Structure 1
Amino acid sequence: MPRARLSARTRTLAVTAAAVTLGATFYGVGAATADNSVPRSDKTIPNLTDVVNEIKAYYGDTVDASGEHQASPTSNYAKQVAGIEAQATSYLAKVTKDEHGGHGQHGKPAKKPAIVLDVDDTSLLTYNYELEVGFNYTPATNSAYIANKTMPTVFGMDAVANWSAAHGITVFWITGRPEAQRADTVRNLSAVGYKSVPDTAHLYLKNSTTPPAYLPCGATCTTIEYKSGTRKHIESLGYDIVGNFGDQYSDLSGGYADKSFKLPNPMYYLP
């Protein structure tokens, strides 16, 4: 989910630093409060270098032969993701059992079950890009990176998606990436092991030039309006979104999903 405005993106480490200070992950309302507060002393602001080192340690930073930063599959990040995925797979297994028994979730009429995945830091890991640009996202650097490099899968999320597809659950992606990045997004998802085809019917990207008619907010949609409105559209096609996966609360807010799964991401916050 690319950052809608540079100003929102560049507050990344300030929000993360506050979270580190409190010893907890806090976004949403807490993040907005942190963004709007003005420190009265430098002593209340964690050292920026220390915060970056905390992020590297959490991801188990390693540098490969080409000089690129990779997250470790044995890192605390990977372990936390694995725990969330285990809960999700257990839940989805129950859903498929209920669906095959002819009953929808929570007594609803049976519909085609589906899951929705965000792309960046839900399906694909942006960790190396963030370090490469010093956590200073710009549309230009992000587009160049996506066009020329292949982001690795978020540990285990390809397995969750592939398990779902193999058990009759349709996989959709909704990303804030612009429509111009469709081909590179399809290439990357396919290259790292996602077996479901991210075609135009299953991969939704943000089209600010000609927004779809099912989004009343058009080109002015907030992230929540865009993503929840697209989920509403998917459900109008006869699907029941049984699981919604995202690394930002804005990926998950707004309804039109039976259950949401929040993946960890201490690198940036998107309203």
Structure 2
Amino acid sequence: MKICGIFLVVSLFSTAFSDETSDPYLLPKPSILQYPSEHNKVGGEEVNLYCTSWRFAAETNNLAPWSTIPAECADYVKDYVMGRSYSTDLERVSEEASIFASSVEFSGDGKDIWVFDIDETLLSNLPYYIDHGFGGVAPAIAPSLKLYQRVVDLGYKIFLLTGRKRATGLSLLKTSSMLVSRTGTSSFSGILGHSYKQMLSPDELHKMATLYKSEKRDEMVKEGYRIRGNSGDQWSDLLGSSMSQRSFKLPNPMYYIP
């Protein structure tokens, strides 16, 4: 299923946002948006301005909840995520996070932590969106890997807090192996050392992401950890209870997880 002409593979979660029994954690199946080829050519500058405004509103969480990309913005989003703008935005987030990480004074007890989401934060699923046949191939996001290595070097303990399931999809072992192979590092303590609190268990499948991740952060705080930084591509990665001292939102105009 190739992106061509007026077609674009985009993410569409099969979840009713008002239904807390839905499961928003599966890797999204691609959805095809189709629109008349002439539509996107009419008032090209206006369409571009509209789509830039739409992406800004989506990234600032002013559209929440939203379920799919506007048809007239399909090419715009494709060009954004496949081009230099997306990479530049990722680099900016990484740089700002690194500056903050370097400014924190540690307590010296090993309880200062940094939380990372996985999908579209440490690993990119763009190959999946471009061609569903690529399956589980998920390369590392270079700016996030740079930040990860920086916070490790500074002495942070790393926790990976993801909506991936333990029992289905990518297993804990497979996920940690993928992270190691894509990033070239084996010090993912969140997966390897504290895995019991990082991936969805069967009795947590009904929970929305904001609640699930808040509860996991609550557990970290109760165990004495100080959440200094948190990096994620969804607002549900960052908001809720036991928020980090600083949160860093990576761009993602492809899908929304409540």
| Kept in 2: contact 1:81–1:264 (CA 8 A) | yes
Q: Is the 8 A contact 1:242 1:258 kept in 2?
A: yes
How far apart in 1 are the matches of 2:95 and 2:120?
18
Give 4+ residue runs of structure 1 displaced > 3 Å after superposition.
2-14, 21-24
What is the SS of the residue equivalent to 1:123? coil
Q: SS of 2:140's equivalent?
A: coil
CA distance in 2, matches of 1:200, 1:231: 16
Partner Cα separation in structure 1 for residue 97 and residue 232 of structure 2: 12
Question: Does 2:251 align with 1:264?
Answer: yes
Alpha carbons of 1:127 and 1:11: their partners in 2 closer, same or farther (altered >3 Å)?
A: closer
| Aligned equivalent of 2:53, options 22, 40, 47 | 22
SS of the residue corresponding to residue 142 of structure 2 reads: coil
Question: Which blocks of at least 5 consecutive residues in structure 2 are unaligned?
Answer: 1-10, 18-27, 34-47
Q: CA deviation at 1:230?
A: 0.3
The answer to whether the 8 Å contact 1:19/1:25 transfers is: no
* Long gaps (5+) in structure 1: 36-44, 62-74, 103-109, 134-140, 212-217
Q: Output the TM-score relative to the length of structure 2.
A: 0.71
**In the alignment, structure 1 residue 99 sits paired with structure 2 residue 121:** no
Partner amino acid, structure 2, of 1:53:
D
Give the RMSD, CA atoms, in angstroms: 3.3
Counterpart pick for 2:64 among 31, 41, 50: 31
User: Secondary structure, in 3 states, of the residue corresponding to 1:220?
Assistant: coil
Name which of 135, 155, 161 aligns with 1:145.
135
Match of 1:207 among 201, 204, 208: 201
- Match of 1:30, SS state, is coil
State the SS of the aligned residue for 2:89.
Answer: helix
CA 1:195–1:264 in 2, change beyond 3 Å: closer, same or farther? same
2:176 pairs with 1:186:
yes
List aligned pairs for 1:11-160, cutoff 5 A: 20=51, 22-27=53-58, 28-32=61-65, 48=71, 51-60=73-82, 75-95=84-104, 98-99=105-106, 112-133=111-132, 145-146=135-136, 149=137, 151-160=138-147
Partner amino acid, structure 1, of 2:247: S
Once the two structures are TM-superposed, the CA of residue 53 in structure 1 deviates from its matched residue by 2.2
In the alignment, which residue of structure 2 is the partner of 1:251?
Answer: 237
The 10-residue stretch of structure 1 (50-59 or 113-122) with the greater mean CA deviation from structure 2: 50-59
Structure-2 separation of matches of 1:19 and 1:154: 28
CA gap of 1:239–1:12, structure 2 versus 1, over 3 A, is farther
SS at match of 1:227: helix
Q: Which amino acid is 1:60 matched to?
A: M
Alignment of 1:1-16 (within 5 A): 5-6=14-15
- Contact 2:12-2:30 within 8 A present in 1 as well: no
Alignment of 1:158-197 (within 5 A): 158-180=145-167, 181=170, 182-193=172-183, 194-197=185-188
Structure 1: distance between partners of 2:117 and 2:88: 20
Q: CA deviation at 1:239?
A: 1.1
Is 1:237 aligned to residue 236 of structure 2?
no
> Separation in 1 of the partners of 2:235 and 2:253?
13
What code does the residue aligned with 1:85 have? S
> 1:90-124: CA deviations, max 9, x gaps?
000001xx226x6xxxxxxx771101111100110
CA contact (8 A) 1:12 1:269 kept: no
Per mean C-alpha deviation after superposition, the further-off stretch among 252-261 and 112-121 is 252-261
2:209 to 209, 213, 223: 223
